[in-house]
Amino acid sequence: MATETPPPSKTQVPLPSGEEFVAVQESEEFGRLRRSHRSFAFPLTVAFIAWYLLYVLLSNYAGGFMGTELFGNVNVALVLGLAQFLSTFLIAWWYARHAAAKLDPAAEAIKSRMEGGA
């Protein structure tokens, strides 16, 4: 017994064609969206990786410096290690703000135009 596919409901949005996707991908608006994402994400990614590698290299090759006690049993290594977590959360928060302010509205405009034109 073969099952029939139900007819599309009135709430379903038909998918745009492949040509429409390519046209949007090649559009200036999509290019601006991509540049906005890349100009934010790539430099922060490079900076964070450099910061992480600095921590690892200091841990391996500057044990005396990393073992320097700042107060009580808290040393430089502990403070820099905790700063790794703090910087991770700050970058995530900053990216969420950037995406909400710049990326999401532009992406939503493209999406609604694609769905509306299909």
Counting Cα atoms < 13 Å in the Cβ hemisphere of 54 gives 11
Backbone dihedral angles phi then psi of residue 69, each to the nearest 5 degrees: -80, 130
Encode the chain (118 residues) as per-residue pLDDT tens digits. 556 655 555 566 677 778 888 888 888 998 999 999 999 999 999 999 999 999 999 999 999 999 999 999 999 999 999 999 999 999 999 999 999 999 999 999 988 888 875 5
Q: Is 76 within 8 Å of 67 (Cβ atoms)?
A: yes
Q: How many C-beta atoms surround the C-beta of residue 15 within 10 A? A: 11
Return the amino acid letter for 34: R
* Ordered alpha helix ranges (H), the chain: 18-25, 28-61, 63-66, 76-98, 104-117
Cα three-residue angle 27-41-30, rounded to 5 degrees: 10
Task: Using DSSP, state whether 101 is helix, strand or coil.
Answer: helix
Return the amino acid letter for 102: K
pTM beyond 0.85, yes or no: no
